[in-house]
Amino acid sequence: MTKHPKEAERLKKIVESFPKLTITVLGDMVADEFIFGEISRVSREAPVLILKHRERTVVPGGGANAANNLADLGVNVLPVGIVGDDEPGRLLMKYFRHKRMAMSGILKDKSYTTVTKTRILAGMTHTARQQVVRVDREPAASPNSHLTRELYLAARNYAHASDALLVSDYGYGAATPAIVETLREKGKLGTVPIILDSRYRMLEYSGITAATPNEPEVEATLGLRIGEEWEKVVGAGEQLMKRMKLESLVITRGGDGMVAFDGRHKPVDIPIFGSDQVTDVTGAGDTVIAAFSAALAAGATTEEAAQLANYAGGIVVMKRGTATVSREELLHALEQSPPATRPH
């Protein structure tokens, strides 16, 4: 493993420039709900645990989590998405207002159900909380043509004033290939980079600058198995770069860190920052794309942006639930340990 002490100073300067940036987030706004109950006894009605309710929290998830991470990194965030006229939607709006985000890009619609992922966690006093079950509430249908047009108009107006456009596509219809294509063709985005996180349909997008898929998403997209072989990782990354005509690509590999591609240099293998004994991976991909997008918008190279995304990802997986990384935490991590790469 090779460490690069001098590069840490360059990365610090990039992080310190984040408050000068403005980034538009076009994404599926998700409410992540966590309900914690203390194990009381086994039910007489069925062989299940009875939990005594202790705590409930609702935090931004999905595209809302990417926006939240950008805000905590000091970036000026312009979110674009849809929420329903329901409690989870109102809580997301309240959260965004608290972070002083512009709200005109968040559409509120009575016919829409805010995507809500409810995780039930169980445990005893002073023990680790274990997720027991997750319940997802989703809209019955994709946004109608009126909402889709409003999303496009909001994204177009915001992107003009932005240093980057982050697209967070969880498959719920607020960040579709069609909307992004219209933005590219009619939105006059100029040289604004578009960074994509799409769970199910990466190859349907065109004109994307960079993408940050995880390894299972790459395998599902390309119909192959990567495994432990470096050559297969490189082959898959190069294939994705070519098919999507990307300038930058980061493939996250869980405990194996991430690999950065830019088409001009050899792929860079970056080991995970911190411990591989993670606490919770919920929302870690949102943290990665937030840090990566902010760094690219600040003028970082692909490798520099990937290094910062790797630090951010390593920090956030040590936190419980859907969490964020602050600019101060990122700077502290850089002081703790210089960036590293694995030679091949």
State the helix-helix crossing angle for 230-244 and 215-222, rounded to 10 degrees: 70
Reported residue count of the chain is 344
List 32, 169, 269, 286, catalytic entry: 286
Q: CATH homologous superfamily of domain 2-29+62-113+141-341?
A: Ribokinase (3.40.1190.20)
Given CA atoms 88, 60, 142, 171 in this order, what sign does their dihedral have? Answer: negative
Strand 340-341, strand 210-211: pairing: unpaired
Sorted by where each begins, the domain ranges of the chain are 2-29+62-113+141-341
Q: How far apart are CA 92 and CA 107, in angstroms?
A: 12
pLDDT of the residue at 3: 72
| pTM (whole model) above 0.85 | yes
pLDDT of the residue at 191: 87
Q: How far apart are CA 266 and CA 338, in angstroms?
A: 21
Predicted confidence (pLDDT) per residue in 154-181, tens digit: 999 999 889 999 999 999 999 999 999 9
pLDDT of the residue at 4: 77
286 catalytic residue (yes or no): yes
pLDDT of the residue at 68: 96
Segments of the chain scoring below 50 in pLDDT: none
For 131, 137, 193, 212, the CA distances from 296, given in Å and listed in that order, are: 35, 34, 8, 12
Give the contacts of 62 (CB within 8 A, at least 6 positions apart): 27, 28, 29, 30, 115, 168, 170, 172, 286
pLDDT of the residue at 269: 96
Helix (H) or strand (E) holding 52: strand 49-62
